[in-house]
Homo-oligomer: A and B are copies of this chain.
Amino acid sequence: MEIEQGAGGKAAGGEGEGGNGVPVEAGAELAIASRILADLGVFDAAGHVSMRHPGNPQRFLMSRSLAPALVTADDIMEFTLESTPCDARGRTPFIERYLHGEIYRKRPDVMGIAHGHSPAVIPFGLTSTPMRATYHNAAFLAAGVPVFDIRDRFGVTDIVISSAERGAGAADALGDKAVVLLRAHGFIAVGPGIQAAVFRAVFTEISARVQLQAAALGGSIAALDAEEGRLADAINLATVGRSWELWKRRVTT
């Protein structure tokens, strides 16, 4: 179970690993995901993205505490589902890693998670207006977007998801959905892969902007209904690579 923690070289199973014990390809892809979300303005200096370990579903990979725009493969750490670093080597993990661990624990289908604080999304966690799927790219929102208000379970706090208990609260609020909003804090988007999680984080932010504008026009909004959303989301997942390749070029050249 600990084979990724070797001093680099090849893992017992033959999969390539970097010097930090993380599978080379996975670490590189996760670092790119982090830089993409910073480049597109979804992440400020403090968002974070993770992926389930491709070789061990009881582990996940995530950057050390670092501005997401600066993350490279060398910054990726491995964690247990208790959000404990497998081999910290002096690196400081993100304080909010618990929201990742608790979601991976409760949602075996989730392979990637992004957490950010996009300004356009915050209003929907502060008001009673539910987020809608304003267009096909945001089809994953059509199933509903719950809001996690940390006050409901934990009273007055510093808002930070800094414990397994708080992480479990956020994971419970997420339920079986693709996105959960955190009141006065931000949002979490999940997906069946790291590219899908990034795609959903991006279009959560864009759809929020679209809905804010549609709301200003007044009247009802003919958003995607649940079944339209389910059908359109399947198309999005099948074609996510096109967006990924485009976004990747911007942060790797």
List residues of chain A with CB under 8 Å of any chain B CB. Answer: 44-46, 65-67, 69-70, 117, 119-120, 122-129, 133-137, 139, 149, 151, 156-160, 183-186, 206, 209-210, 212-225, 227-228, 231-232, 234-235, 239, 242-243, 245-247, 249
Contact = CB atoms under 8 A, between A and B. Distances in A.
Please give me the 6 A-B residue pairs with the lowest Cβ-Cβ distance, nearest first. Answer: A123-B214, A158-B231, A67-B246, A45-B243, A136-B159, A129-B217
B45 A135 contact: no
| Best-buried of A117, A123, A206, A215 by chain B (most CB within 10 Å) | A123
A224 B159 contact: yes
Identical chains in the assembly: 4
Nearest to A245: B67
15 contacts: A67-B242, A117-B135, A117-B136, A122-B213, A123-B216, A127-B218, A129-B218, A129-B219, A136-B184, A156-B228, A156-B231, A158-B232, A158-B235, A159-B228, A184-B224
B219 A128 contact: yes
B213 A183 contact: no
A235 B160 contact: yes
B156 A225 contact: yes
A131 to B, nearest CB: 11
Contacts of A128: 219-220
Given A65-B242, A69-B246, A122-B135, 20 more contacts: A44-B137, A46-B239, A46-B242, A117-B136, A117-B137, A119-B206, A126-B134, A127-B217, A128-B220, A129-B219, A134-B184, A135-B184, A136-B184, A139-B159, A156-B228, A157-B228, A158-B228, A159-B235, A184-B223, A212-B217
Please indicate which of the listed interface residues A46, A126, A133, A235 has the most CB atoms of chain B within 10 Å of its own CB. A126
A171 B220 CA distance: 26
Contact of A136 (B136, B160, B216, B218): B160
Contacts of A139: 159
Nearest to A162: B235
A46 to B, nearest CB: 7
Contacts of A232: 158-160
A242 B134 contact: no
A69 B243 CA distance: 11
A31 B181 CA distance: 38
A152 to B, nearest CB: 11
